[in-house]
């Protein structure tokens, strides 16, 4: 019961006690959680302002401390009026410890007039690929406060600088203008902001105190030319739905030749120089093709690995952005010929004669009957023979093929062999066509 009584007493004390600033507008800030402080109060004008503590009835003990911390706090006098106790707001910043009924209230009070926001002009006077330097006329100095144990902390003035820049949109595959911003807790004679990706002005907005109390106006630079560059790229491979082409599930770009791939890039405004490079080694020492357009299509017909990258530069050549390196791997060629099929027997099942192939870039195939008559001529390995001549399915028997082909690896193929046709349909010719 004694513990419950003490708890209820503490709750009542907390509910009744309050700290306010009278005589001037002020803002109450949440301090660093490790500071040991309940609040930080920023007062607009300390000249006629007072800190007012309303307690629970008993006279409090009031101490003030500096940057040395609460261990060096000194007791100070105060004026009282009933349950209200007041002291003047300090000229700069001081910490306070109020002790009443064994309970302490610790807080820090800052006079804003001691750290005024005076930025009246701004100009960009330097830029590189990452940032732009803005020179300022006026300052917004650091606003310090100190924890109970004397640790140096600062108030975030929330000085916002707004500008335009570009952001990549994947749906349109382009850079679109957007609003950008960066914030500073304080500012001296210059600040550094991110390099924009388009021409823009930088607008410096007063800190959160000057904005609320209408003490300053925003200022802007002149137009700052885009200096930094950025790029986004992609590679799109044309797919072939060919059932007799040998494929690998692990392939990303490349596979079986001929392989057509379109490369494209999106760039920002300052990217004046643009180039795609095609090389046979990943270090691009032996680049053998370049394209100055942002998009190009290329057909890969040779086995092995090819490396492609995109580079964007600004007009001075001082800012460069490179894409990832795309690797196109074309496999070695292969050509296999079946020796039996069953046209007209079961639709969709082995009813067409086709080679099985990979990376064949030239192909010429003739199919004959046993008397040397040409029944079909194929010029692409994806093509097949349906076992028909003149719209009629040939009869069961032995036919022949002769193939001349070349692979992406330079391998020449000269193949010939038998094609055994098995046809059980009654309407089919009962003997090979002569």
Residue-by-residue DSSP string for 163-180 = EEEEEEETTTTEEEEEEE
CB 310 within 8 A of CB 276: yes
Residue 348: per-residue pLDDT: 64
Q: Is the pLDDT of residue 10 over 70?
A: no
CA 168 to chain centre: 9
Share of the chain above pLDDT 90, in %: 82
How far apart (Å, rounded) are the C-alpha atoms in residues 319 and 272?
Answer: 11
Residue 175, CA atoms < 13 Å, CB-side half-sphere: 20
Pairing of strands 412-421, 340-341: parallel
CB 309 within 8 A of CB 278: no
Closest CA to 193 of 170, 166, 224: 224
- Average model confidence (pLDDT) for the chain? 91
CB 89 within 8 A of CB 43: yes
Q: Tell whether pTM > 0.85.
A: no
Phi-psi region of 224 (alpha: psi -120 to 50; beta: other; left: phi over 0): beta
Which domains does the chain show, CATH number per domain? 2-114 (2.60.40), 121-220 (no CATH), 233-330 (2.60.40), 334-421 (2.60.40.1220)
Q: Is the pLDDT of residue 5 over 60?
A: no
Taking only the tens place, the pLDDT of each residue in 270-300 is 999 999 999 999 999 999 999 999 999 999 9
Q: Is the pLDDT of residue 362 over 70?
A: yes
**pLDDT class for 194, splitting at 50, 70, 90?**
very high
Residue 41: per-residue pLDDT: 98
Taking only the tens place, the pLDDT of each residue in 41-99 is 999 999 999 999 998 768 899 999 999 999 999 999 999 988 899 999 999 999 999 99
Token reading at 345: 């027997």
How far apart (Å, rounded) are the C-alpha atoms in residues 322 and 21?
Answer: 57
Taking only the tens place, the pLDDT of each residue in 12-45 is 334 457 999 999 999 999 999 999 999 999 999 9
């Amino acid at each position: 019961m004694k513990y419950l009584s003490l708890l209820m007493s503490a709750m009542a004390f907390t509910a009744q006690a309050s700290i306010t600033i009278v005589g001037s507008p002020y803002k109450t800030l949440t301090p660093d959680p490790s500071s040991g402080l309940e609040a930080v109060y920023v007062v607009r004008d300390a000249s006629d302002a007072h800190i007012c503590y309303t307690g629970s009835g008993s006279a409090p003990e009031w101490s003030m401390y500096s940057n040395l911390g609460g261990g060096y706090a000194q007791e100070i006098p105060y004026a009282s009026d009933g349950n209200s106790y007041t002291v003047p707001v300090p000229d700069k910043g001081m910490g306070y410890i109020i002790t009443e009924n064994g309970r302490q209230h610790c807080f820090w009070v800052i006079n804003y007039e001691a750290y005024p926001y005076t930025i009246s002009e701004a100009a960009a006077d330097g830029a590189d690929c990452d940032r732009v330097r803005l020179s300022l006329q006026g300052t917004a100095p650091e606003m310090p406060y100190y924890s109970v144990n004397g640790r140096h902390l600062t108030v975030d003035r929330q000085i916002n600088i707004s500008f335009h820049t570009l952001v990549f949109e994947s749906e349109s595959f382009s850079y679109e203008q957007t609003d950008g911003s960066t914030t500073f807790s304080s500012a001296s004679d210059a600040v550094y902001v991110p390099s924009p990706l388009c021409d823009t002005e930088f607008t410096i907005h007063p800190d959160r105190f000057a904005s609320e109390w209408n003490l300053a106006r925003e200022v802007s630079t002149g137009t700052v030319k885009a200096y930094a560059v950025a790029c986004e790229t992609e590679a799109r491979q044309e797919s072939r739905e060919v059932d007799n082409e040998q494929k690998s599930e692990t392939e990303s770009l490349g596979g079986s030749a001929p392989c057509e791939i379109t490369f494209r890039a999106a760039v920002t405004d300052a990217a004046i120089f643009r180039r795609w490079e095609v090389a046979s080694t990943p270090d691009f020492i032996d680049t053998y093709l370049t394209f100055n357009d942002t998009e190009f299509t290329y057909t890969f017909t040779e086995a092995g690995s090819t490396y492609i990258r995109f580079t964007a530069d600004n007009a001075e050549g001082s800012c460069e952005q490179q894409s990832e390196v795309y690797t196109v791997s074309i496999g070695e060629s292969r050509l296999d010929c079946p020796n039996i099929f069953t046209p007209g027997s079961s639709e969709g099942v082995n009813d067409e004669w086709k080679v099985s192939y990979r990376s064949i870039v030239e192909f010429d195939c003739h199919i004959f009957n046993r008397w040397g008559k040409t029944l079909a001529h194929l010029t692409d390995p994806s093509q097949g023979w349906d076992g028909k001549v003149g719209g009629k399915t040939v009869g069961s028997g032995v036919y022949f093929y002769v193939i001349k082909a070349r692979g992406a690896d330079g391998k020449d193929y000269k193949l010939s062999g038998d094609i055994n046709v098995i046809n059980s349909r009654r309407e089919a010719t009962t003997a090979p066509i002569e």
